[in-house]
Homo-oligomer: A and B are copies of this chain.
């Protein structure tokens, strides 16, 4: 309810609003003496800009880039962040935002390197990026740093000085959550398989972290006597998955399966085919196919990463960062939502952020 305006500060300091604005935005051209005086006043009166007025006045063009894996068939995981980005654009509303898209094949690191080789640094003021190839992304992010391009990451984290913020889930924790859900009703001696089917496990740090979290939970579970069987099927084909699963079932006393990414529906299909019942199945993300098997009861729990919201928040953070020079938290953790058949509908809405009439982005 406070309402000190720039004009008020200016009057008190006996300067013009222009001068006050200069010190607010640290754009120099103010004598040290007046600057300090105004800074003190700003502090003292706890000046907060009126964001409506600001965004109304600030009508300059802004060019941002978004870089993520391409959506091969419209049914993949990567469709979801794309929707979040569209939502964000819509929310940003009447602004001069130009978004430049860079999509790469998540199985082709050479293609990625080629693509970033001629990234138009001059044209763009910020980047929203979902990294896949660790080394290659790191190298590119270093270039961003030397080109002074601020970057917001989502989905998977890579450390680099150009990275101003990361939006995502605590992957290790999410593995613990999966393990907790797996543990209920599990016989003390039930074996568990951890199934990795991501395109490139080695490159996705969050996939590795999920497995770690899952293992650490059971390592600390005193009553548990079963075995955890790591099963890597990266880049494997249809036929191999079925074969591998049958091997697992005949060699072990499997009580549950943890699929470390969104391809859990493929496993569900095999379970259905092979008429394996009573197997606890936990995986990630609300893909259509996953939702289908969740409803059928073949998948017990899905953990949602909120990929739409990741992208939505990421783009907003970036926008505010470059336009208003407003920093964002270094890590923006999204919750680790547990989805069952029963609470599913309330996570499928697209209204995650602008559902209430009137929530908008400055």
Roughly how many angstroms separate A48 CA and B338 CA in the complex, as a whole number?
37
Q: Do A326 and B170 have beta carbons less than 8 Å apart?
A: no
| Complex contact A346–B342 (CB within 8 A) | no
CB-based contact B340/A177 at 8 Å:
yes
In the complex, are the beta carbons of B317 and A177 less than 8 A apart? no
Tell me the bound Cα distance from A319 to B357 in angstroms.
Answer: 10
Asked if A117 CB lies within 8 Å of chain B CBs, one says no
Q: Which residues from chain B contact A345 at a C-beta distance below 8 Å?
A: 173
- Residue A341 contacts which of B53, B180, B326, B353 (CB distance < 8 angstroms)? B180
CB of A206, distance to nearest CB on chain B (Å): 15
Which residue of A316, A326, A360 has the most chain B CB atoms within 10 A of its CB atom?
A360
Query: Cβ of A1 and Cβ of B89 under 8 Å apart?
Result: yes
How far does the alpha carbon of A50 sit from the alpha carbon of B96 in the complex, in Å?
A: 13
A119 at interface, CB cutoff 8 A: no
Contact between B360 and A94, CB atoms less than 8 A apart: no
* Stretch of A64-72, A120-128, A245-253, A329-337 with 4 or more beta carbons under 8 angstroms from chain B: A329-337
| Docked-complex contact A342 and B176, CB < 8 angstroms | yes
User: Knowing A50-B93, A362-B360 touch, does A338 contact B335 (C-beta < 8 A)?
Assistant: no
Chain A residues near B (Cβ < 8 Å)? 1-3, 48, 50-53, 55-56, 89, 93-94, 97, 170, 173-174, 176-177, 179-181, 184-186, 217, 300, 313, 316-317, 319-321, 324, 326-329, 332-338, 340-343, 345-347, 349, 353, 355-362
Given contacts A177-B342, A181-B340, A336-B343, 20 further A-B contacts (CB under 8 A): A48-B94, A50-B56, A52-B56, A53-B56, A56-B56, A174-B343, A177-B343, A184-B300, A316-B358, A317-B356, A317-B357, A317-B358, A326-B358, A329-B355, A335-B337, A338-B343, A359-B359, A359-B361, A359-B362, A360-B360
